[in-house]
Each structure stands twice: as C-alpha cells, then as structure tokens.
Amino acid sequence: MGAVASIIGAVIALLGLYSMFLPGVKKLSELNPVFKTSKDMIRFGYYYGMILLLISAVTLLVLGEASIAFLILATILLFIGYIGLIVLSFKLEKVEGESLYMVAGVLFIVGIFVDILALLGWMILYVAVGSSIRKHSVVQLQTQVTPSTGLPV
C-alpha cells in the first residue's frame, strides 16, 4: 500500500513541478541571474528525485528490498532540490524585500526536522508569491496608465 501511495504522490508532484513550479523558477532565473543556482538545484533535485522516487516505488512492488538503492538516491536528490528551495526563498527575500520569503525559508529549514512546518512554509511561500505578483502588477499598471510626456517619471 505504501508503494502505491508513493507512486500516486510522485506522479502528482511531477505534474505540479512540470506545470507550475519549474516554469516559474525558470522564468525567475531568466529575469534575474541571481536565481540561476537555485533553479538548477531545484530542477535537478526535484525533477530527477521525483522520477527516481517513482522508479523506486514501482520496483518496490516488483523487486521488494532491491529498490532501496533507488530510494536512497531519490532522497538525496530531493534533498538537493529542497536546499535549492531554501536558497531561493532567501534570495527572493533580498530581491523582493518581502519578509514572508525569509519566514518560508526558515520554516523550510526547520521542516527538515518537523515535517508539518515545511507544509506551513509552502503556504507562506504561496502568500508571498501572491503579494509579489500583486506588487508587480500594480507597478506595471501604473506605467501603462502614466501618459508619456518624454520626461522621466
């Protein structure tokens, strides 16, 4: 039963990573090179870690104990991705000036030892990203509404 739950979880995580998270982090690194290392760690760790987790769960059903090596490697890769997420949170705090990113980063660190705090970190990260999007949307809207006089605003 645990292997089936791992398979379902890995598939859902891969869909979320591919559809939202990885493209967003890639876009950040294109806009600001300071995010490149975080992007690389997240992409490498989470993407390949999830694939190996999926492989280990499938082989666990078939081979049993022989899939432990895949599981260990998947855990190491996922941890690399998680460290990239922590680094990204702190870099976003410096660039955006939004303290919620730092709070999320600290919760991700403590979440290594207390899992529920990592979930809280994801929730706070979601709120912080929403705040940043609203802030940038207002700035973009103001530049579109301001009439062009040829003079700097």
Domain match, 49 and 105 both? no
Domain match, 34 and 6 both? yes
Domain match, 131 and 85 both? no
pLDDT at 3: 65
Domain match, 110 and 73 both? no
pLDDT at 143: 60
| CA-closest candidate to residue 119, choices 110, 128, 132 | 110
Domain match, 69 and 47 both? yes
pTM over 0.85: no
Domain match, 65 and 53 both? yes
Contact in structure between 74 and 49 (CB atoms under 8 Å)? yes
pLDDT at 51: 86
pLDDT at 25: 86
Range of the domain at 33: 1-95
pLDDT at 64: 73
- Walking along the chain (153 residues) 10 residues at a time, the average pLDDT comes out as 70 76 84 90 90 83 79 93 94 92 95 91 89 76 56 50
Cα 125 to chain centroid, rounded: 9
Domain match, 10 and 84 both? yes
Q: Position of tokens 């499938």? A: 58
Domain match, 22 and 72 both? yes
Domain count, the chain: 2
